[in-house]
Structure 1
């Protein structure tokens, strides 16, 4: 599961529907990807980060290990 991404979505009140519209896919597909059933492509991750979370590091958002962010 991509806990960091899920937490960021909740914090900023971004819905799976909004992400699905950006990626041109079903909300269920977004859910599957966040929950680890399938993976986001690099392009998808880059789009999500750029549109919804420019203040977050892409590595942090899409890190499946859910580690705390490290200083850059």
Structure 2
């Protein structure tokens, strides 16, 4: 969720803003923002519609690319 984190920073938004928007605990919001658990589609829609109305869902919630460890 690198794009989501970047947009949160640009707009001065916090984990608490996400938490309040989707109605969950702070820990759950952090886990979702950090990609440890997924946003449901309705949650993602609420975040986009309320906090980032000018941005596309595909951009905000693009998964982070995985970097497999290179063997030595």
Query: Given the two structures, how large is their TM-score scaled by the length of structure 1?
Result: 0.84
- Give the aligned partner of residue 25 of structure 2: 26
C-alpha RMSD of the superposition: 1.2
Deviations 1:7-61 (A, max 9, x none): 0001001111111011111121111011111100000000000000011111000
- Give the aligned partner of residue 57 of structure 2: 58
Unaligned 5+ segments in structure 2 are 66-72
Question: Which whole-Å CA distance do the structure 2 matches of 1:19 and 1:63 have between them?
Answer: 17
Larger radius of gyration: 2
Unaligned 5+ segments in structure 1 are 67-72
Q: How many residues align?
A: 65
Question: Post-superposition, which runs of at least 4 consecutive aligned residues in structure 1 deviate over 4 A?
Answer: none
Question: Which whole-Å CA distance do the structure 1 matches of 2:3 and 2:26 have between them?
Answer: 18
Query: Given the two structures, how large is their TM-score scaled by the length of structure 2?
Result: 0.84
